Amino acid sequence: MANDELPSQDLPEEMLRQHAAVSEWAQVLEAAGQLLDQTSGELDQGAIERFFKHNVHDHIQFEEGVVFPAVLGTDPGPAIEALIHELRKEHIAISRTVGALFVALRGAHRADEAQRRALSREVKRLVEALLLHAAKEDDQLLPYLTEHQQALVAYLRTRPRRR
Ligand SMILES: [Fe+2]
Ligand SMILES: [Fe+2]
C-alpha cells in the first residue's frame, strides 16, 4: 500500500505511531553517532540508511501526501496554516540534510578521525532536529488532528485520488 493511501480513519494514531518509531530509532542512531567517535568508523550504514528511508523519507511523504492536504482541506485557519508552512520548510531542510548525510556515510570508511567526529556530530544534530520537529507536530498539530478527525476523514474520502 502506498503511503498516501493509508487508512485515513486513524490519522492521529498513525502519526503518533510513526513518531514513536522515530524516537526509538533516534536512540539507536545517537549510539551510532557516539560509536563513530571512537572506532574505525565502521557502522551499519545500511541500517542507518534504511532508518532514514523508512522513518524519515516515507514518514514525510505520509505527512505531505495525506496529513497536510487533509488539514489544509478543512480550512484550519491562519495559525494552523502557518504551522503547516513551517513544518513543510523543516521537511525540506531535513530531507536535504539526510541526502548530504548519506553521501558522507558512504565515504565514512575513508574518513580520518576528525572527519568521523564531524560526521558523528552531524548525525546527532540531525537526530535532534528530527526529534524537535516531531515534538512540534505532536504538540501543535496532533490536537487539531484529534479534534477534527471526522472532517479530515470526510475530506480524504472525497478528494481526487493521486496518480
Ligand atoms: Fe513532519
Ligand atoms: Fe512527523
DSSP state of 107: T
Ligand at shortest distance from the CA of 142: 2
Whether residue 14 is predicted with pLDDT greater than 80 in this model: the reply is: yes
Contact 8, 69 (CB under 8 A): no
Question: Where does the pLDDT of residue 40 fall: very low under 50, low under 70, confident under 90, or very high at 90 and above?
Answer: low
The larger pLDDT score, comparing residue 93 to residue 10, is at: 93
**Grid cell locating 78:** 491562519
> Rg of the chain over CA atoms, in angstroms?
18
Q: Which residues of 6-27 are buried (b: 16+ CB within 10 A; e: fewer)?
A: bebeebbebbbebbeebeebbe
The answer to whether residue 68 sits within a structural domain is yes
- H and E: helices and strands count for the chain: 8, 0
The answer to whether residue 51 sits within a structural domain is yes
Neighbours of ion ligand 2 (CB under 5 A): 137
The answer to whether residue 163 sits within a structural domain is no
State the distance from the centre of ligand 1 to the C-alpha of 44, rounded, in angstroms.
25
Averaged pLDDT for residues 142-148: 93
**87-129, pLDDT tens digit by residue?**
999 999 999 988 888 888 777 777 788 887 887 788 888 888 8
**127-138, pLDDT tens digit by residue?**
888 889 999 999
Question: Where does the pLDDT of residue 80 fall: very low under 50, low under 70, confident under 90, or very high at 90 and above?
Answer: very high
- For the chain, the domain total comes to 1
Domain containing residue 122: CATH number: 1.20.120.520
CA-to-CA separations, 116 to 36, 41, 70, in angstroms, rounded: 6, 6, 42
Ligand at shortest distance from the CA of 88: 1
The answer to whether residue 116 sits within a structural domain is yes
The answer to whether residue 75 sits within a structural domain is yes
The answer to whether residue 162 sits within a structural domain is no
The answer to whether residue 27 sits within a structural domain is yes
The answer to whether residue 92 sits within a structural domain is yes
DSSP, residue by residue, 30-99? HHHHHHHHHSSS---HHHHHHHIIIIIIIHHHHIIIIIHHHHHHT---HHHHHHHHHHHHHHHHHHHHHH
- Domain range enclosing 53: 3-157
For the chain, the average pLDDT equals 82
Note the pTM of the prediction, 2 decimals. 0.82
Determine the pLDDT at residue 2: 46
